[in-house]
Structure 1
């Protein structure tokens, strides 16, 4: 039964009790009308408590699986990024290059917006000419859907060099 149906049933019960009580005993009219109202309000409060019950077992399972779920999502995202290393150059430039460039900026302490030449020199020194072109934030070609990304081997080498910084 919905809440609206329950309210209508209580109102109908109050009206019927009042009609019967008027003919029988007027002094019991207030008590007789209050009983269905109390029952209806009690049912409404009970349904609200059930709706907002926080001791549900599924919530406890979700809290227990919280770190596992976070780890699973992280692994899925990492796998998706690694898969993009074998995709097109546009995918690399859209998804991997910004992450790698940001990690390089953080590791080297060089900001590309301050001194572009210093960042480029540090990048070539750290990665070499071949790998730097895949990390360099300026060397992006987002519309190159035909060119190939460097692959997983290059990504692994870039990450290991970032790790050594």
Structure 2
């Protein structure tokens, strides 16, 4: 154990030790002056209370962290915003990649957002969803949102790019 590690004492050990010392003083004091007995019994109780208070104060102090990067929770709004920005940048980079990248990473997000915004569920009524999608996005943009138009292995065709992604997001936002 190094010097910087605090010694933690269980409350039960402190209370049990104080009771044992009080009992020992009582046994010793039976044959001696009874006037001093109260003072002798009060000393260990006072010591136990002092240790208990010290323990409570020590536990209430914030402990320094070894490495903030090891925390499982995020460090507040600034960290959350940085994480969101990094994810958004990564998703936007997929818009300039291949069609397979678009279909793996962007199409499911856009299709889900369209379903949630429009209230049309593809699983319930495919034709109504397709009609609503064409009305909102137009023929050209709908083909990049339509969940049924996925080609996950098409590495040669280019994705529509950031301009198309921006226009799709703008139209989704206007719903």
**Structure 1 length as normaliser, TM-score?**
0.61
The one of 33, 36, 40 aligned to 1:32: 40
Match of 2:9 in 1: 3
Higher helix fraction (1 or 2)? 1
Query: Structure 1 stretches of 5 or more lacking a match?
Result: 59-64
> Which residue of structure 2 aligns with residue 100 of structure 1?
110
d(CA) in 1 for partners of 2:140 and 2:22? 85
Task: Verify the 8 A CA contact 1:88 1:145 in the aligned structure 2.
Answer: no
Task: Give the direction of change, closer, same or farther, for the CA distance of 1:4–1:90 in structure 2 (3 Å limit).
Answer: farther
Q: Deviations over 1:126-155 (max 9, x none)?
A: 3344432321223345xx467377243332
Gaps of 5+ in 2: 1-6, 65-74
Q: Which range moves more in the overlay, 23-32 or 129-138?
A: 23-32
Contact 2:8–2:55 (CA<8 Å) still a contact in 1?
no
The superposition leaves residues 74-130 of structure 1 with CA deviations (integer Å, 9 ceiling, x where unpaired) of 323322322343456565445432331233234434332332112112223433444
Match of 1:74 among 62, 77, 84: 84
User: TM-score, normalised to structure 2's length?
Assistant: 0.58
Residues 110 and 40 (structure 1 numbering): CA distance in 2 closer, same or farther, change over 3 Å?
A: same
50, 57, 60: which one pairs with 1:52? 60
1:114 and 2:127 matched: no
